[in-house]
Structure 1
């Protein structure tokens, strides 16, 4: 889970730090609740291997569910960047190690700050502790993983990312249509020479306006992801 989480699992955090944090968290969980962490003495090596695989899958899924929150806003920022003509203006995303359009980088930075402000990381740790009570380590049953709910959350990521970017996309589309009509009516004016600048101004104005709604949008996406996270371990 620590490798898949969007904040501590990034390239900015050294592997040794993740390892130390994982060991410390493991020690705390073992000290807090040992009733669900005891394996039978006659556990075979193959059963032990399957138990480790099951627990690793649970941790990866938990980290990926939280990743979907951030990827929703990154995708929205990428759509807005492409519509504004800023697709060529990319920055290296330190969390994913890839080039991301500048608006997408802005959105993911704000999403990171909002998630830490809302104590989302503490919620994930609480879910991790509860997962051992809901799915004890001696319970070798892969059917407990409700993968279909994780897949449904992926479709929610695309639809909600488009929903966040929709105001800017529609506004820029209307602006481009207006430029096309003016160019058709008066070709000698060469309106498209000003089109790029006005499109940028309109895009930045829409981003400024939409940022005031980002907290509510982030809360909705987080609640959806956290609900799925709880459902994965029930």
Structure 2
């Protein structure tokens, strides 16, 4: 009975971190994954994490215990948010492209999140999810949350020190800027193509004013955008692999930041 009373607070903290991670992480947070499966998977991984990292740790359930729960939830959400950020930029890229092509008002419902998303962005997002699952990227996400217990154990309070020092905020801002730059790079071919098409239509409007540019321009930009999208699809695999490598690198940097706080 004493062993159970000692193990329960530690297991609950582990469960809070992993459950919060599943709430924010890509693939696992999808609406397509049944809730009972998420709960069962979180419980199973929490049990494994407790057997690996929680034995021998004692955490008293006093007034400070609520602070420990908040800390574990914040850690799980942060790790999941960093991974989800690189998936979100694909939909941001789709918004850029759809505004240029003319698909801006033709949003569809994303089956993974249940929210309205751009047509091109939703297509690339689903393609990215399939490629991510095909290369077993979800295994890396589980590995990242498990390694977080090595560099930021349950009984460590260095996480709040990193927040107070501004290291966590600087990391999140830097990662967001890098992700936004990658989004612009992904959308660059279509944006440049649409810009050249607008310039050509502008010259046509000046040289041949009898043509109705609105009638000609809209279908022309849609056709040109689809052609450019088709031509860039073979290279999309390499772009996604580069995006995944950046995501894994960001997670490694975050875990090293945890380790730095734990060492201090």
Normalised to the residue count of structure 1, the TM-score between the two structures is: 0.92
Secondary structure in structure 1 of the residue aligned to 2:191: helix
How far the C-alpha of 1:102 sits from its partner, in A, is 0.7
Unaligned regions of 5+ residues in structure 2, if any?
Answer: 1-20, 257-264
Cα separation, 1, equivalents of 2:120 and 2:97: 7
Structure of higher RCO (CA pairs closer than 8 Å, 6+ residues apart)? 1
Select the structure that is richer in helix.
2
How far the C-alpha of 1:144 sits from its partner, in A, is 4.2
Moved over 6 A (4+): none
Q: Name the structure 2 match of 1:233.
A: 255
How far the C-alpha of 1:165 sits from its partner, in A, is 0.5
Q: Give the stretch that moved more between structures: 85-94 or 143-152.
A: 143-152
Q: Name the structure 1 match of 2:200.
A: 178
Q: Name the structure 2 match of 1:84.
A: 101
Q: Match for 2:50 among 5, 21, 30?
A: 30
Normalised to the residue count of structure 2, the TM-score between the two structures is: 0.82
Q: Does 1:143 align with 2:143?
A: no
Q: Does 1:97 align with 2:97?
A: no
Cα separation, 2, equivalents of 1:80 and 1:68: 19
Q: Give the stretch that moved more between structures: 134-143 or 43-52.
A: 43-52
Q: Does 1:219 align with 2:241?
A: yes
Q: Name the structure 2 match of 1:127.
A: 144
Q: Name the structure 1 match of 2:223.
A: 201
- Equivalenced residue count is 231
Cα separation, 2, equivalents of 1:220 and 1:103: 19
Q: Deviations over 1:131-153 (max 9, x none)?
A: 11111101122124641212211
Q: RMSD of aligned C-alpha atoms?
A: 1.7
Q: Name the structure 2 match of 1:39.
A: 58
